[in-house]
Amino acid sequence: MTTPLAKAKRVVVKIGSSLLTAGGAGLDRAAISDWVGQVAALRAKKIEVIVVSSGAIAEGMQRLGWSKRPHAVNELQAAAAVGQMGLVQVWESCFSERDLHTAQVLLTNADLADRNRYLNARTTLRTLLGLGVIPVINENDTVVVDEIRFGDNDTLAALVANLIEADALVILTDQAGLFSADPRKDPKATLVSHAIAGEAKLEAIAGGAGSHVGSGGMITKVLAAKRAARSGAHTAIVSGREADVLSRLFSGESIGTLLEAQTAPLAARKQWLADHLQPAGRITLDAGAVKALVTDRKSLLAVGATAVTGDFGRGEVVSVLGPDGREIARGLANYGASDVLRILRKPTTEIEAILGYLAEPELIHRDNLVVL
């Protein structure tokens, strides 16, 4: 039986730090050259590939002679800046040996959180793919501080899969896949070969932190699969050391863990909303408004909003909370925070008299709202 990956036409391949640097010992050029050969074979089969490559910090540490990963953000940033040079040099030279062009794309959370920059990134990546170039993406570590970093590239890779509407996300790591428990700690752990992305039990078994070289561990991979599934992408978590791993995966062979996407793809706009990592504010609703949004699939009206926090402007993404404070939806606010405050609990017919204008009858229109 072949897996759904046999039909993939556009894929994101994420390679973790521990693999790329052979556990922290410096970039593993032979391994990179081998993956590049496999990517070239996929391209020859007309499969578009984007690589998300970690390893800048690990390579930077190696170059600077640091044996322990620093905690200070400025040191991590310095190591990333040093290491990124080595990382792209190796990717570039390995791809050019196979007559393929590469492009370095460094992204931050803020780039994907801003609609304009998100659209720019999407257009650029699509253009590169159209030109037959292999984009090599990493987080732009030097310009982000801890609170706004992705920190692990699993999340970034999932967002890239959403961004370009990939059919599949492959996460190459140092384990054979997702196990029933951390195999470093539990020798009896068994491989989960197939599951539905987003199943709650996956998060429970992936709880442990990662290796000392990588940062996310399995939990970020399982969450990345959930995120990727929102735009219909299946995720494979698999050992990068498996021979011909990419070629075999995309021939439909079952290797490692396949976390299948079941949900129909959301419209691109809604997907962007769902992936917004840092909404600019929060609007709390009463129970009636929660029902209108979740059950009746309606727009949000001011009459059902009871509180607002944050300093957002019209058109910005806000998080929508139920009376218990749990996030239930995200959407684009039709009014800025200070105006929302003035029209809380007010019927639509009173908005113009209170604010002196009526931007839209709804606080958030259904088309700009995604229930989580």
Ligand X SMILES: Nc1ncnc2c1ncn2[C@@H]1O[C@H](COP(=O)(O)OP(=O)(O)O)[C@@H](O)[C@H]1O
Q: Is 138 annotated as a binding residue?
A: no
Q: Is 216 annotated as a binding residue?
A: yes
Q: Mark 203-232 with x for binding to ligand X (rule: CB under 6 A) and - for no binding.
A: --xx-x-xx--xxxxx--------------
Q: Does 199 engage in binding with ligand X (CB under 6 A)? A: no
The one among 12, 13, 19, 317 contacting ligand X by CB under 6 A: 19
Q: Is 196 annotated as a binding residue?
A: no
The one among 28, 111, 139, 362 contacting ligand VHF by CB under 6 A: 139
The partner in contact with residue 11, picked from ligand VHF, ligand X, none with C-beta cut-offs of 5 to 8 angstroms by kind, is: none
Give all strands of the β-sheet with 317-321 in edge-to-edge order.
305-310, 281-285, 317-321, 327-332, 369-371
Site for ligand VHF in 172-211 (CB under 6 A): 210
Paired sense of beta strands 194-196 and 134-139, if any = unpaired
Nearest distance, CB of residue 353 and ligand X, angstroms: 55
Which window, 14-22, 45-53, 259-267, 301-309, contacts ligand X (CB under 6 A)?
14-22
Nearer Cβ to ligand X, position 176 or 359?
176
Nearest distance, CB of residue 284 and ligand X, angstroms: 35
Q: Does 322 engage in binding with ligand X (CB under 6 A)? A: no
Q: Does 83 engage in binding with ligand X (CB under 6 A)? A: no
Nearest distance, CB of residue 18 and ligand VHF, angstroms: 6
The one among 5, 42, 47, 80 contacting ligand VHF by CB under 6 A: 80
Binding-site residue ranges for ATP: 14, 173-174, 215-221
Q: Where along the sequence are the contacts to ligand VHF (CB under 6 A)?
A: 16-17, 54-58, 80, 138-139, 141, 152-154, 210, 214-216
